[in-house]
């Protein structure tokens, strides 16, 4: 059995929904289908979820909301009409939206989630109706009935442990189950959503609960590529990648799956297969626990901008037991998380995301580091990019870091930080932001073309 999750671009219009239903009909093991809300039809278009957020905002601001409401109703009606579905479905969707819009909105976060969830919920009804119309026995499954219970953190929910037992029972349902992604219910019965892009999380939870053979994640790319395809023409498509490699690359900017989505499937060791709705013949990329083949030393290359390095030094720092704990406590007291911490004998670098280090916190932290810990020198280096090479095979290969550093030095790029991840599956180079894309392209040439 497979879980097949389809993203917004796969459901953006009637043609895309036809492709989705062909894919479902093609393989009997595709028994549970998870859908997102209809996404963008073209680059200038707006996703249904964004239309819904706008609708909720207008209502919460006590403004007239008819235009925003009908932008959503019309979007669904247009798809239903193109799929030649019964009029009653369009009426159902419209009355569902009106019911949500007129519900209590004294708690804005709760109201926002109720409205946001309408995209996935109605898309699931629409796909079910279309499958029925082409002679497939399909059933829409309400997440409440299925027992998809989540924490009451609106817009940022997490799965509750009992959900897995509840969902296990859904495999008894006959026919194809169409399950709306992105939301569930609190134990009080309120609709609550995952963070944006959270239909991936729904799919992963279902995959883990049902212990399926594979979690198919259908999107609009042929594969996960070894480098951001905006930087290189025809980049190398990865056939296989491990969860750990994917996690490292996601940290530095790979955004194929929602970050939290891998965890339920990972814990059960279920392979996640990224596939293209627009090109189902393409082999896609499989994310696995352990790889069988390594095609090269490096699996992928990624980079992210917007980091700051706070470098602290004090003579005989290494003699003081617990010194690092005291440093980190000061950052923690101010609620500033650190990303990396390369250290020397008498110096230590705390690498932070610039967005987490506003001026007021910076002033307080620096003052405390000086007064409480007597730190002699504090150098702050801004506009830093972290460039990363990732690959499980690196741990057993001699000379990968040397090759990468050599490549960057030939390119004339100064390395401010070198940090080999403790798991030995990644090496991070801290460089000036303006060289980030150039460095990525040079590293790609070194490891994938040369």
Does 47 participate in binding ligand ASP (rule CB under 6 A)?
Answer: yes
Say if residues 58 and 69 touch (Cβ distance below 8 Å). no
**Nearer Cβ to ligand ASP, position 123 or 336?**
123
By beta carbon distance, the residue nearest ligand ASP is: 199
Does 49 participate in binding ligand ASP (rule CB under 6 A)?
Answer: yes
Q: How far is the CB of 316 from ligand ASP (least distance, A)?
A: 51
Q: Which of residues 231-290 bind ligand ASP (CB under 6 A)?
A: none
**Nearer Cβ to ligand ASP, position 126 or 330?**
126
Say if residues 160 and 187 touch (Cβ distance below 8 Å). yes
Nearest to 141 by CA among 91, 177, 96, 89: 177
DSSP codes of every residue in 59-115:
HHTT---HHHHHHHHHHHHHHHHHTT--HHHHHHHHHHHHHHHTS--SSHHHHHHHH
Write the binding mask 372 to 411 for ligand ASP: x where contact by CB under 6 A, - elsewhere.
----------------------------------------
Nearest to 49 by CA among 152, 151, 182, 179: 182
Does 157 participate in binding ligand ASP (rule CB under 6 A)?
Answer: no
Q: Which of residues 88-127 bind ligand ASP (CB under 6 A)?
A: 119
**Nearer Cβ to ligand ASP, position 37 or 208?**
37
End-to-end CA distance of the chain: 41
Count other Cβ atoms within 10 Å, centred on residue 387.
27
**Nearer Cβ to ligand ASP, position 155 or 342?**
155
**Nearer Cβ to ligand ASP, position 36 or 311?**
36
**Nearer Cβ to ligand ASP, position 37 or 212?**
37
Write the binding mask 325 to 364 for ligand ASP: x where contact by CB under 6 A, - elsewhere.
----------------------------------------
Q: How far is the CB of 10 from ligand ASP (least distance, A)?
A: 10
Q: How far is the CB of 119 from ligand ASP (least distance, A)?
A: 5
Which residues share a beta bridge with 34?
A: 5, 179
Does 40 participate in binding ligand ASP (rule CB under 6 A)?
Answer: no
The residue whose two tokens read 């996601």 is 250
DSSP codes of every residue in 299-365:
-EEEEEEEEEEEEEE-TTGGGSTTHHHHHHHHHHHTT---SB--B-SSEEEEEEEGGG--HHHHHHH
How many residues touch ligand ASP (CB under 6 A)?
13
Q: How far is the CB of 117 from ligand ASP (least distance, A)?
A: 9
**Secondary structure element (H or E) that encloses residue 262, with its range:** helix 262-268
Could you give the CA distance from residue 113 to residue 107 in angstroms, rounded to a whole number? 10
SS3 state of residue 378? strand
Q: How far is the CB of 49 from ligand ASP (least distance, A)?
A: 4
Does 37 participate in binding ligand ASP (rule CB under 6 A)?
Answer: yes
**Nearer Cβ to ligand ASP, position 35 or 249?**
35
**Nearer Cβ to ligand ASP, position 287 or 428?**
287
**Greatest alpha-carbon span in the chain:** 78
**Nearer Cβ to ligand ASP, position 205 or 351?**
205
Q: How far is the CB of 36 from ligand ASP (least distance, A)?
A: 3
Q: Which of residues 168-207 bind ligand ASP (CB under 6 A)?
A: 181-182, 196-200
Could you give the CA distance from residue 187 to residue 81 in angstroms, rounded to a whole number? 37
Among 3, 6, 8, 97, binds ligand ASP (CB under 6 A): 8
Say if residues 147 and 163 touch (Cβ distance below 8 Å). yes
Residues near ligand ASP (CB under 6 A): 8, 36-37, 47, 49, 119, 181-182, 196-200
């Amino acid at each position: 059995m497979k879980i097949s999750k389809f993203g917004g671009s796969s459901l953006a219009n009637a043609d895309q929904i036809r492709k989705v239903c062909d894919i479902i009909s093609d393989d009997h093991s595709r028994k549970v289908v998870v859908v997102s809300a209809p996404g963008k039809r073209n680059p200038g278009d707006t996703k249904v979820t964004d239309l819904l957020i706008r609708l909720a905002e207008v209502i919460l601001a006590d403004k007239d909301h008819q235009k925003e409401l009908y932008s959503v109703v019309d979007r669904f009606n247009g798809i239903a009409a193109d799929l030649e579905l019964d009029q009653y479905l369009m009426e159902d969707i419209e009355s569902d939206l009106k019911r949500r819009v007129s519900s209590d909105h004294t708690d804005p976060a709760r109201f926002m989630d109720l409205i946001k969830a309408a995209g996935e919920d109605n898309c699931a009804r629409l796909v079910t109706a279309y499958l029925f119309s082409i002679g497939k026995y399909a059933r829409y499954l309400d997440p409440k009935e299925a027992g998809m219970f989540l924490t009451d953190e609106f817009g940022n929910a997490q799965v509750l442990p009992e959900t897995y037992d509840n969902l296990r029972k859904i495999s008894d349902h006959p026919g194809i189950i169409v399950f709306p992604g992105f939301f569930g219910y609190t134990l009080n019965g309120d609709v609550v959503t995952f963070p944006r892009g959270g239909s991936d999380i729904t799919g992963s939870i279902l995959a883990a609960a049902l212990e399926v053979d594979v979690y198919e994640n259908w999107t609009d790319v042929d594969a996960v590529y070894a480098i951001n395809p905006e930087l290189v023409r025809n980049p190398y498509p990865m056939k296989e990648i491990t969860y750990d490699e994917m996690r490292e690359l996601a940290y530095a900017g790979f955004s194929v799956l929602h970050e939290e989505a891998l965890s339920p499937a990972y814990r059960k060791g279920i392979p996640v297969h990224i596939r293209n709705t627009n090109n189902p013949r393409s082999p896609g990329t499989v994310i696995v626990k352990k790889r069988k083949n390594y095609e090269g030393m490096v699996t992928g290359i990624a980079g992210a901008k917007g980091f700051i390095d706070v470098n602290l030094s004090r003579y005989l720092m290494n003699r003081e037991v617990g010194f690092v704990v005291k440093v980190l406590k000061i950052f923690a007291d101010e609620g500033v998380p650190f990303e990396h911490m390369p250290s020397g004998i008498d110096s230590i670098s705390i690498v932070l995301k610039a967005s987490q280090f506003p001026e007021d916190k910076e002033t307080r932290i620096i003052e405390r580091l000086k007064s409480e810990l007597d730190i002699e020198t504090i150098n702050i280096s801004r506009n830093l990019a972290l460039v990363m090479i990732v690959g499980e095979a690196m741990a057993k290969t001699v000379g990968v870091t040397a090759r990468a550093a050599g490549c960057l030095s030939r390119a004339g790029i100064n390395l401010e930080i070198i940090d080999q991840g403790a798991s030995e599956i990644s090496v991070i180079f801290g460089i000036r932001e303006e060289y980030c894309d150039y460095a990525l392209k040079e590293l790609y040439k070194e490891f994938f073309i040369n």
